[in-house]
Amino acid sequence: MIIDDRKRVAVMASGRGSNFEALCRGDTGTGKVVLLLSDRKDARVLERAAELGVGSAVIDPGSYRTRMGISEEERCARTLEEEGIDLVCLAGFMRMLKGPLLEAYDGRIMNIHPALLPAFPGLEAQRQAFEYGVKYSGCTVHYVDAGMDTGPIILQEVVEVLDEDTVSSLSARILEREHVIYPRAVNLHCAGRLRVDGRKVRLLPQGS
């Protein structure tokens, strides 16, 4: 009998799913993506899951537009626990979490954001940064708390804004870096190398 003792990772996504795919294909070390949950039944990410042979389900987000409902979050937490999920990765999941899921998976939910937090949280971060006129933007992987993109920062990568950039060219270069740092963050978490100390996430040496 082969025992797979890798950490079971679920991805929650609402749209295109390129980060989901990067997490499936990237080097996530002892973490393995085994489940995709989407709050939109027409999301492209569901097709990607089928193409990649990853089980998926559409979840009912409830009646709010920008967050999950409490009972829906509860149901979602139950599904994740029943599936034995160790880590939840939000990847273009366009709703905030406020209650039961945060409690059930405290310190075990990550998010990727296409800007250098704490600058430009929320929607259309690449456009916000571009229109503000910053010279450098980038992307951030952070643990999730009840705020809007406010949890402790795990990894960030800087992307230079070029004079000839448009929102879409800048977004594309940021996305390339997202696809690199998100698997890396999952790898570090699953290897037990991240220690949260207040707002700081410390990177522990290999083998510690």
With binding defined as CB under 6 A, does residue 13 bind ligand GAR? yes
- For ligand GAR, the closer of residues 27 and 81 by Cβ is 27
- For ligand GAR, the closer of residues 185 and 191 by Cβ is 185
With binding defined as CB under 6 A, does residue 15 bind ligand GAR? yes
**Applying CB under 6 A, which of residues 49, 68, 104, 175 lies at the interface with ligand GAR?**
175
50: amino acid identity, one letter: A
Nearest residue to 114 via CA among 85, 78, 90: 90
With binding defined as CB under 6 A, does residue 19 bind ligand GAR? yes
**Applying CB under 6 A, which of residues 9, 12, 18, 97 lies at the interface with ligand GAR?**
18
Give least dist CB 7 to ligand GAR, A.
Answer: 21
Does the active-site annotation cover 142? no
Interface of this chain with ligand GAR, residues 176 to 205, rule: CB under 6 A: 178
Give least dist CB 19 to ligand GAR, A.
Answer: 3
**Applying CB under 6 A, which of residues 7, 95, 108, 113 lies at the interface with ligand GAR?**
113
Rounded to an integer, what distance in angstroms lies between the CA atom of residue 187 and that of residue 181? Answer: 10
Give least dist CB 50 to ligand GAR, A.
Answer: 16
Size of the site for ligand GAR (CB under 6 A): 14
The 3-state secondary structure of the chain, one letter per residue: CCCCCCEEEEEEECCCCHHHHHHHHCCCCCEEEEEEEECCCCCHHHHHHHHHCCEEEECCCCCCCCECCHHHHHHHHHHHHHCCCCEEEECCCCCECCCHHHHHCCCCEEEEECCCCCCCCCCCHHHHHHHHCCCEEEEEEEECCCCCCCCCEEEEEEEECCCCCCHHHHHHHHHHHHHHHHHHHHHHHHCCCEEEECCEEEECCCCC
User: By Cβ distance, which residue is nearest to ligand GAR?
Assistant: 92
- For ligand GAR, the closer of residues 64 and 81 by Cβ is 64
Give least dist CB 119 to ligand GAR, A.
Answer: 13
**Residues annotated as part of the active site:** 113
